[in-house]
């Protein structure tokens, strides 16, 4: 489970002064559920996910991830999450298998179990043929599969996806969304961010609309549309954001 | 702190670096070829060029030969140079390197010699300063002129019934009492530490930039930061890899240096046999150099990591690291300046201190007190550099600088 509690993150910028990238964000995401953070570019989605993945430290507020506090137990949190985004690239000079094993070892996995799970994941994701090829020689789709394998190697209960389909072709994007659904089916807690309305509507059980660092509204897609009095999620998003302005 | 995770990062970074062509070139290939290339290759080519020049017969010109027919006749028969016909544009010819030197004899030279007038007449040698062929011509002309002067002196003494030995009440003799090892150490003592220190830095440079700025550029930094490893473990794993590469370069350089001067088939070994110069490195010297270079390698590794992590790209890291290279070269070169010897104050100056100790060790001198100070102060600087790297790796503003 993920429970964000009044998360705030500010950055200092020489020209613009203090920037509140995340401004008092609170929400909950349960196991077996996909929670989508929806927002335009610069809304604070990536920063929120980085706070939950403990890559960044919150300025104030806190969050519980899989029962651990992001500020006081960051190591425990990271051991229980799988973090995937278009920004999380692979080590080009390592092979697919070496990459998967590397992350397994960093997660403290037993060597025997690691080898078993790496083999199983490579077979599951149809990567066995490419297992010993360097990552920089793989196609974009294959690279995404290796990224999925490395996030799953330690079988984390919480998955965090930051715009995972950004820049991917249709087939690769479909593979990712299928994988996200499978995570939900296996009762994992799934947090997902995107600015693509259709993708969010298809995938998410609950949606949080983020704008200028603030969570403006949240709930199931149907409820958000009903609240805005429109039939389309994009229209609902625009109404909610314009309502603030 | 989890050492298994540090080891995992270290191994991964090492595998990654050894698959990088840039790292292989800077860490392994450059140190292997640098010493033989500089000493045997470059040295042999330079020696050959100098020998060729010295064997050439330079062309010289005598102006005012009519004022000293006797001297002119002697110079014309000298086989050390060829006398060409006098021409008015001799200065331009010297500048164009067509003529190596010209002798200007003043009017009334021989008459003044016979009269024994004071002040004595002056012969001017016109030449091209810093041009080696011209210098050789000047040397040959000076010898011929001095021989002629000695002849006149001897004649004058004879005329007065005296022997020319009266001008030489005693002789001087030079004798080298420094050991061959010390002479060798003094000769190459400046160059070898400079090369070692520079290679120690160069070996660490590429891996350090690749695993910090390069990782940011490729987008893999976020991947690793989302794993359970702590920032301290991450920086230590990376640091040990950079240190390994730096030491690897140092060891390869030392081996290359040792082989260059030890193996019988290398030409320089043959050259050094002819004079009292020893360029051999004993196992003790090699170990001493290595022990002294270790804290320096730690300092370089820490400094390079701390500097490169600031950069957003590999290219930006290169622009930060270049001034660092200049900072390292200056004290490393300072050791070659005359009169710079190891003392308590200099033992505290980073890089210069190690450079000076290496020079002493190469000439077989071991001042243990100063060596300890150098080692300890270098360890202190290394600890500061490493702490700096750890500090920067923990700063979000540095890791996610945009």
Residue B253, pLDDT above cutoff 70: yes
What is the average pLDDT across B22-34?
Answer: 84
Please report the pLDDT score of residue B187 as a whole number: 65
Cα-Cα end-to-end distance for chain A: 33
B377 falls within a domain: yes
Please report the pLDDT score of residue A29 as a whole number: 92
Say if the Cβ atoms of B228 and A89 lie within 8 Å.
Answer: no
How close does chain B come to A34, measured CA to CA in Å?
A: 20
Per CB-CB distance under 8 Å, the chain B contacts of A78 are 226-228
Domain end among B167, B193, B224? B167
Among B16, B218, B225, select the one facing A89 at the smallest CB separation. Answer: B218
Mean pLDDT computed over every residue of chain B: 84
Domain end among B142, B167, B192? B167
Report d(CA A149, CA A99) in Å as an integer. Answer: 9
How far is residue B142 from each of residues B77, B116, B127, B148, B181, measured CA to CA in Å? 15, 21, 12, 10, 36
Please report the pLDDT score of residue B267 as a whole number: 45
Nearest to A26 by CA among A224, A217, A161, A238: A217
Residue B269, pLDDT above cutoff 50: no
How close does chain B come to A228, measured CA to CA in Å?
A: 36
On whether both B213 and B149 belong to a single domain, the answer is no
Structural domains of chain A ordered from first start:
2-80+157-244 (3.40.50.300), 88-155 (no CATH)
On whether both B123 and B242 belong to a single domain, the answer is no
On whether both B202 and B282 belong to a single domain, the answer is yes
Report d(CA B183, CA B176) in Å as an integer. Answer: 9
Q: With a cut of 0.90, is the ipTM above it?
A: no
Are B189 and B364 in contact by the 8 Å Cβ rule? The answer is: no
B162 falls within a domain: yes
Among A57, A75, A102, select the one facing B8 at the smallest CB separation. Answer: A102
- Is the CB of B9 inside 8 Å of chain A's CB atoms? yes
Among B218, B227, B228, select the one facing A92 at the smallest CB separation. Answer: B218
Please report the pLDDT score of residue B117 as a whole number: 67
Domain enclosing residue B65, as ranges: 53-167
Per CB-CB distance under 8 Å, the chain A contacts of B396 are 56-57
Please report the pLDDT score of residue B331 as a whole number: 80
B45 falls within a domain: no
On whether both B73 and B206 belong to a single domain, the answer is no
Which residues, given as ranges, of chain A have pLDDT below 50? Answer: none
Share of chain B above pLDDT 90, in %: 28
CATH code where residue B58 lies: 3.40.1710.10
Each residue's pLDDT tens digit, A7-18: 999 988 888 888
Q: Which residue has the tokens 């240190």?
A: B243
CB < 8 Å from A in window 94-153 of B: none
Each residue's pLDDT tens digit, B350-366: 888 888 888 777 777 77
On whether both B64 and B154 belong to a single domain, the answer is yes
B24 falls within a domain: yes
Domain end among B167, B199, B222? B167
- Between residues B194 and B148, which one has the greater pLDDT? B148
B172 falls within a domain: no
Please report the pLDDT score of residue A85 as a whole number: 79
On whether both B69 and B195 belong to a single domain, the answer is no
Each residue's pLDDT tens digit, A105-148: 999 999 999 999 999 989 888 888 888 889 988 888 888 888 88
- Is the CB of B225 inside 8 Å of chain A's CB atoms? yes
On whether both B198 and B95 belong to a single domain, the answer is no
Per CB-CB distance under 8 Å, the chain A contacts of B8 are 102, 105-106
Say if the Cβ atoms of A89 and B220 lie within 8 Å.
Answer: yes
Say if the Cβ atoms of B9 and A88 lie within 8 Å.
Answer: no
What is the average pLDDT across B130-158?
Answer: 91
Say if the Cβ atoms of B229 and A98 lie within 8 Å.
Answer: no
Among B222, B229, B397, select the one facing A106 at the smallest CB separation. Answer: B229
On whether both B149 and B196 belong to a single domain, the answer is no
On whether both B324 and B197 belong to a single domain, the answer is yes
On whether both B192 and B163 belong to a single domain, the answer is no
Per CB-CB distance under 8 Å, the chain B contacts of A94 are 12, 15-16
- Is the CB of B24 inside 8 Å of chain A's CB atoms? no
B48 falls within a domain: no
How close does chain B come to A208, measured CA to CA in Å?
A: 23
Say if the Cβ atoms of B218 and A105 lie within 8 Å.
Answer: no
Say if the Cβ atoms of A91 and B222 lie within 8 Å.
Answer: no
Other C-beta atoms within 10 Å of B289: how many?
22
How close does chain A come to B247, measured CA to CA in Å?
A: 23
Report d(CA B222, CA B62) in Å as an integer. Answer: 79
Domain count, chain B: 2
Per CB-CB distance under 8 Å, the chain B contacts of A102 are 8, 12
Q: Which of A13, A103, A107, A147 to mutate to test the interface with B (most CBs of B within 10 A)?
A: A103
Say if the Cβ atoms of B227 and A94 lie within 8 Å.
Answer: no
What is the average pLDDT across B71-76?
Answer: 91
Residue of A nearest to B227 (CA): A78
How close does chain B come to A239, measured CA to CA in Å?
A: 32
Residue B227, pLDDT above cutoff 60: yes
- Is the CB of B230 inside 8 Å of chain A's CB atoms? yes
Say if the Cβ atoms of B219 and A75 lie within 8 Å.
Answer: no
Q: Which residue has the tokens 């006749």?
A: B73
B173 falls within a domain: no
Residue B225, pLDDT above cutoff 70: yes
At CA B185, angle to CA B181 and CA B187, rounded to 5?
120
Contact pairs from chain A to chain B, CB under 8 Å: 69
Report d(CA A139, CA A15) in Å as an integer. Answer: 40
Please report the pLDDT score of residue B356 as a whole number: 84
What is the average pLDDT across B230-254?
Answer: 90
Per CB-CB distance under 8 Å, the chain B contacts of A92 are 218
- Between residues B248 and B283, which one has the greater pLDDT? B248
How close does chain B come to A225, measured CA to CA in Å?
A: 34
Among A12, A55, A103, select the one facing B222 at the smallest CB separation. Answer: A55
B44 falls within a domain: no
- Is the CB of B402 inside 8 Å of chain A's CB atoms? no
On whether both B273 and B367 belong to a single domain, the answer is yes
Among A85, A93, A150, select the one facing B20 at the smallest CB separation. Answer: A93
On whether both B183 and B327 belong to a single domain, the answer is yes
Please report the pLDDT score of residue B155 as a whole number: 87
How close does chain B come to A29, measured CA to CA in Å?
A: 19
- Between residues B270 and B324, which one has the greater pLDDT? B324
Residue of A nearest to B18 (CA): A93
Report d(CA A178, CA A160) in Å as an integer. Answer: 15
């Amino acid at each position: 489970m993920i429970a964000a509690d009044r998360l705030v993150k500010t950055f200092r910028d020489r020209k613009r002064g203090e920037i509140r990238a995340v401004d008092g964000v609170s929400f909950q995401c349960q196991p077996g559920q996909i929670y989508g953070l929806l927002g335009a570019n610069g809304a604070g989605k990536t920063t929120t996910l980085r706070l939950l993945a403990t890559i960044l430290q919150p300025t104030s507020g806190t969050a519980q991830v899989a029962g651990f506090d992001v500020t006081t137990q960051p190591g425990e949190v990271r051991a229980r999450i799988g973090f995937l985004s278009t920004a999380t690239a692979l080590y080009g000079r390592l092979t697919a298998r070496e990459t998967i094993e590397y992350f397994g070892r960093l997660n403290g996995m037993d060597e025997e179990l690691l080898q078993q799970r790496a083999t199983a994941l490579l077979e599951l994701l149809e990567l066995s043929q490419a297992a010993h090829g360097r990552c920089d020689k793989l196609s974009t789709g294959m690279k995404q599969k290796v990224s999925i394998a490395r996030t799953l190697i330690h079988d984390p209960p919480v998955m965090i996806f930051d715009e995972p389909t950004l820049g991917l072709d249709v087939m690769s994007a479909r593979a990712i969304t299928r994988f996200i659904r499978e995570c939900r089916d296996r009762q994992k807690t799934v947090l997902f961010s995107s600015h693509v309305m259709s993708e969010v509507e298809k995938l998410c059980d609950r949606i949080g609309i983020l704008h200028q660092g603030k969570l403006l509204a949240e709930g199931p897609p149907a409820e958000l549309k009903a609240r805005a009095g429109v039939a389309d999620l994009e229209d609902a998003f625009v109404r909610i954001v314009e309502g603030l302005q | 702190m989890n050492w298994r995770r540090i080891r995992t990062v270290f191994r991964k970074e090492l595998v990654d670096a050894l698959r990088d062509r840039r790292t292989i070139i800077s860490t392994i290939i450059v140190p292997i070829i640098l010493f033989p290339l500089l000493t045997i290759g470059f040295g042999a080519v330079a020696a050959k060029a100098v020998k060729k020049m010295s064997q050439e017969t330079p062309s010289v010109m005598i102006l005012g030969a009519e004022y000293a027919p006797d001297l002119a006749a002697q110079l014309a028969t000298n086989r050390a140079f060829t006398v060409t016909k006098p021409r008015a544009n001799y200065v331009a010819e010297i500048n164009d390197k067509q003529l190596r030197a010209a002798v200007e004899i003043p009017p009334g030279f021989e008459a003044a010699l016979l009269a024994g007038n004071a002040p004595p007449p002056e012969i001017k040698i016109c030449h091209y300063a810093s041009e080696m062929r011209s210098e050789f011509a000047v040397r040959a002309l000076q010898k011929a002129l001095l021989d002629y002067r000695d002849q006149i002196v001897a004649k004058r003494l004879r005329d007065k019934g005296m022997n020319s030995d009266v001008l030489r009440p005693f002789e001087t003799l030079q004798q080298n009492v420094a050991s061959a090892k010390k002479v060798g150490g003094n000769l190459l003592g400046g160059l070898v530490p400079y090369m070692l220190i520079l290679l120690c830095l160069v070996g660490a440079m590429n891996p350090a930039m690749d695993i910090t700025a390069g990782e940011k550029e490729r987008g893999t930094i976020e991947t690793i930061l989302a794993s359970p490893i702590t920032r301290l473990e991450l920086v230590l794993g990376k640091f040990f890899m950079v240190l390994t590469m730096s030491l690897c370069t140092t060891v390869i350089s030392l081996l290359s240096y040792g082989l260059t001067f030890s193996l019988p088939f290398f030409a320089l070994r043959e050259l050094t046999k002819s004079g009292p110069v020893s360029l051999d490195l004993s196992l003790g010297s090699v170990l001493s150099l290595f022990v002294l270079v270790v804290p320096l390698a730690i300092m370089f590794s820490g400094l390079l990591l701390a500097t490169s992590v600031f950069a957003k790209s590999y290219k930006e890291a290169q622009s930060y690291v270049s001034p660092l290279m200049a900072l390292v070269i200056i004290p490393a070169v300072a050791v070659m300046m005359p009169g710079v010897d190891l003392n308590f104050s200099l033992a505290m100056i980073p890089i210069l201190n190690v450079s000076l100790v290496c020079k002493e060790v190469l000439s077989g001198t071991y001042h243990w007190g100063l060596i300890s100070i150098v080692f300890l102060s270098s360890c202190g600087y290394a600890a500061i550099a490493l702490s700096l790297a750890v500090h920067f790796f923990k700063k979000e503003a540095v890791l996610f600088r945009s």
